[in-house]
């Protein structure tokens, strides 16, 4: 009897091991983000509910340069398309990325095929394309902007390229590292949903992208903070721990429309305090976050989508806003304005800053 029982137990154990092995093999073939993508198809609400944006700086920069170099040609390769292809190729693991993968993609496409054509049968490509379109939608495109003419004056230039700006004004230092997801304990234990940029108190903070101020004021976590929603509604940029006493650009309020590259406030270290207008932080810095919104129910509550901005901030360093300081008020303004057809009609103009009362950084 004991012999039969032992044989039965051995058989059960073997079947269990086999089942676990099969499950592990299947699981290894599916990355976390594709699991989420498949889950979306089983729900009645067909909007994306989770995005893991872990694209490296090198991949972003390579894809952007390819996009810019092919723009206007029959073989224009959008960086959203190429990054979506690369994510499928590498199973969402960006540590596997190599520049040669982009070169091979260009060769495979030939003269008449698009990335969409190439990936038509891939069930994950559409998910990545929608997700990356939401993240990168306002960063690259045609632009018209003022620029120095080399003789102390200003000229208007047109082009195609990076049209979003670094959150730190030109001429001001900052440092950062990839601290997205690290633990935070003030108030309650939680993950850090942004990128901290260490700098000096009073450093002008710049609007990364044009949009509408949808929140500002004090809370105990972010101190003086401001949230700006992109005009297409997909992204909400969150700037926190602004300067005590004078955190914002004068006249800014909820509902204000701002342009990319515009001064919106000043770096500080407020927050982590129940009392308003307190420097509760130990180190002056800007907390920068980007929230994605595929459906308005995601804006508030527990199902928000925040992404890692470290690589994006590195990329945005390629385009910094030149500012000047009003010697009377101490406030800063941008020097070179921008024009963007996607802006509301009342904002489609270029203005010139009178710098006679200002000092340039």
Residue 277's nearest CA partner among 268, 266, 289, 265 is: 268
Does the pLDDT value for residue 20 go beyond 80? no
Report the C-alpha gap between 74 and 109 in whole angstroms: 12
| pLDDT at residue 325 greater than cutoff 70 | yes
Question: Is residue 353 classed as helix, strand or coil in its secondary structure?
Answer: coil
Q: Which two tokens stand for residue 343?
A: 């802006």
Q: Token match 């001001």: residue?
A: 172
pLDDT score of 42 more than 50: no
The candidate with the shortest Cα–Cα distance to 131, out of 205, 219, 37, 64, is: 37
Strand order in the sheet with 332-334: 332-334, 323-326, 358-360
Measured CA to CA, the distance from residue 241 to residue 207 in angstroms comes to 15
Cβ atoms of 231 and 212 closer than 8 Å: yes
Closest Cα partner for 49 from 297, 228, 232, 237? 297
Of 76-85, 258-267, 288-297, 343-352, give the lowest mean pLDDT range: 343-352
Confidence band, pLDDT 50/70/90 cuts, at residue 193: confident
Residue 360: per-residue pLDDT: 52
Per-residue pLDDT at 187: 61
Return the CATH number of 165-353, one of 1.20.120.450, 2.70.70.10, 2.60.120.260, 3.40.50.300.
2.70.70.10
Average pLDDT over all residues of the chain = 86
User: Taking 60 as the threshold, does the pLDDT of residue 239 lie above it?
Assistant: yes
pLDDT in tens, 126-157: 999 999 999 999 899 999 999 998 998 899 99
Looking at the predicted structure, is the pLDDT value of residue 113 above 50? Answer: yes
Give the Cα separation of 267 and 286 in Å (integer): 6
pLDDT of residue 298: 93
Mean pLDDT score, 179-193? 75
Question: Distance (Å, rounded) from C-alpha 340 to C-alpha 141?
Answer: 10
Collapsed DSSP state (helix, strand, coil) of residue 73: coil
Contact 286, 240 (CB under 8 A): yes
Q: Would you state the pLDDT for residue 46?
A: 87
Q: Where are the domains of the chain?
A: 57-136, 165-353
Q: Taking the model in full, what pTM does it have?
A: 0.85
| CA distance linking residue 263 with residue 174, whole number of Å | 16
Residues contacting 241, CB < 8 A, separation 6+: 222, 223, 224, 225, 267, 268, 269, 270, 271, 281, 284, 285, 286, 287
Give the least confident one: 29-33, 149-153, 333-337. Answer: 29-33
Say yes or no to pLDDT of 88 above 90.
Answer: yes
Residues 4, 113: Cα–Cα separation, whole Å? 64
């Amino acid at each position: 009897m004991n012999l039969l029982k032992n044989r039965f137990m051995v058989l059960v154990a073997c079947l269990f091991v086999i089942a676990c092995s099969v499950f592990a093999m299947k699981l290894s073939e599916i990355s976390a983000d594709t699991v989420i993508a498949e889950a979306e198809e089983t729900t009645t609400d067909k909007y994306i509910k989770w995005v893991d944006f872990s694209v490296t700086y090198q991949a972003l920069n390579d894809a952007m340069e390819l996009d810019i170099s092919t723009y206007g040609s029959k073989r224009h390769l959008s960086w959203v398309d190429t990054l979506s292809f690369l994510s499928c190729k590498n199973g969402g693991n960006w540590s596997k990325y190599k520049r040669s993968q982009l070169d091979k993609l260009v060769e495979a496409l030939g003269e008449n095929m698009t990335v969409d054509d190439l990936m038509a049968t891939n069930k994950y490509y559409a998910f990545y394309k929608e997700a990356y379109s939401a993240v990168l939608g306002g960063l690259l495109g045609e632009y018209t902007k003022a620029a120095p003419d080399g003789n102390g004056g200003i000229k208007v230039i047109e082009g195609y390229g990076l049209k979003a700006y670094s959150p730190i004004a030109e001429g001001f230092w900052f440092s950062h590292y990839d601290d997205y997801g690290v633990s935070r304990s003030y108030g309650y234990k939680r993950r850090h949903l942004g990128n901290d940029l260490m700098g000096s108190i009073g450093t002008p903070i710049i609007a990364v992208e044009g949009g509408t101020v949808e929140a500002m004021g004090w809370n105990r976590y972010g101190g003086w903070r401001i949230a700006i929603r992109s005009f297409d509604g997909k992204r909400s940029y969150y700037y926190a721990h602004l300067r005590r006493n004078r955190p914002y650009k004068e006249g800014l309020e909820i509902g204000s429309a701002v342009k990319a590259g515009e001064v919106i406030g000043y770096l500080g270290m407020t927050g982590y305090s129940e009392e308003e207008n307190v420097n509760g932080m130990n180190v002056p810095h800007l907390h920068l976050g980007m929230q994605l919104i595929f459906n308005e129910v995601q804006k508030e509550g527990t199902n928000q989508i925040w992404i890692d901005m470290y690589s994006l901030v590195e990329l945005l360093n390629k385009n910094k806003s030149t500012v000047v300081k009003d010697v009377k008020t101490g406030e800063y303004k941008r020097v070179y304005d921008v024009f963007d057809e996607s802006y509301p009609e009342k904002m489609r103009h270029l203005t010139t800053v009178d710098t006679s009362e200002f000092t340039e950084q």
